[in-house]
Amino acid sequence: VIITLAPAFARYMAIAIPMPLVEPVIRALLPDKSTQSMLLSYHMKLYFGGSFDPVHVGHLLVARDVLEALGFQKIVFLPAFQAPIKRPHEASPEDRRRMLELALKEPFFEVSDLEIKRGGISYTVDTARELYSTLGERPFLLVGADSFLSLHVWKEPVELLRLARFVVADREGKAKLIK
């Protein structure tokens, strides 16, 4: 997987620096042990939404590759209650959540039922709004380049760009189209 951060979208995306590279800098710059401890215990999460109907090895490989390449400490899978651009799912929301739980055996993967609990159509902007409110900062969202290229047709795309930061994973060479 090639992770591409397009220059034109730089203010909406970010590169995470692996904690082993950051830790010595934090310790050198911040003499206060409590501030060091707070910063070093922070677990940066990346949220990966989708229908996951079914979850497959491609989902897991992209998530692991992005985690390793960008230094996120957790990938949180967010199965949609009902994806807005897909026909009704084959499996129920609860079955898809359970499939994810069975597939995700790594300690750096977790499943959230945020969108399932909310019900209805799972618009990314609604999830970003809820995460922003909960976290107090813009969440990182993982999307494929093909999905990012259609962002203009998503619900409230300008608001979504204000609320969240995107990590775009290339699929099938689509990232070269993002300028």
Please give the structure tokens belonging to residue 149.
Answer: 């290229």
Adjacency order of strands within the sheet including 45-50: 109-111, 74-79, 45-50, 140-144, 165-169
What pTM value is reported for the model?
A: 0.76
Please give the chain's pLDDT, 179 residues, in tens: 334 444 444 444 444 445 555 566 656 766 666 655 555 545 589 999 999 999 999 899 989 988 888 878 899 999 999 999 878 889 999 999 999 999 999 999 999 999 999 999 999 999 999 999 998 888 999 998 888 889 999 999 999 999 998 888 876 655 455 54
Beta bridge partners, 78, equal 49
Does residue 151 contact residue 13 with C-beta atoms inside 8 Å?
Answer: no
CB 124 within 8 A of CB 155: yes
What whole-number distance in Å separates Cα of residue 83 and Cα of residue 124? Answer: 9
Q: How far apart are CA 119 and CA 100, in angstroms?
A: 18
Question: Could you report how far apart the first and last alpha carbons of the chain are, in Å?
Answer: 19
